[in-house]
Amino acid sequence: MSRIGKLCLFIPKNCKIILTPRHCHFLGSYGKLSQLIPKSLSLRVTNLGIFVHFQKFSTLISEQQGLLHALLQNKIIGVSKQFEKKLELIGVGYRAYIDSEKLILLIGASYTTFFFIPISLTVNIITNTQIIIQGIDKHSICLFASKIRSLKPPEPYKGKGIKYFNESIIRKIGKSTSL
């Protein structure tokens, strides 16, 4: 059985849940999201929170139970608190700015790189080298951040590139000259 899937999902006060037979809708202070429920699983709402149940046990259904629990947890947190990812640009001349719904990056190439900012996300630039991505859908935030990071991942010798805020880069020692 899934250890995570059988736990209770607690519902905060600023989140409202509407259940239909195959969908679960979440309404919160930051927006609304919905999640499709597989046919093999069902939800039960009590005064403690939400429980995910299955009719017949199999390993696949148990895996789906844990996955659905995690997805529902992300939806609840998203509509009540919001998610955020922080990126840092490290390198000489690396900087970012926003111009009319586009994130423009100058990362050492001969051309400027830009991304159209999705409607569901908000992108803020604290300094020229720090980017904060916020929104209610964790999947879209992480996908957008990984697309930005994939342009120039941090390299191990000098540490130049785009990295997540709390990411630690394992540094390598360069060549040493011997006489």
pLDDT digits (tens, 9 = 90+) for 110-133: 888 899 999 999 999 998 889 999
pLDDT digits (tens, 9 = 90+) for 56-115: 888 888 888 899 999 999 999 999 999 999 999 998 889 999 988 899 999 888 888 899
Please give the model's pTM, rounded to 2 decimal places: 0.86
* The last residue of a domain, from among 55, 80, 105: 80
Domains held by the chain: number: 2
Q: Which domain holds residue 128?
A: 83-164
Interacting residues of 94 by C-beta distance below 8 A, sequence separation 6+: 105, 106, 107, 108, 129, 160, 162
The CATH number of the domain where 88 resides is what?
A: 3.90.930.12
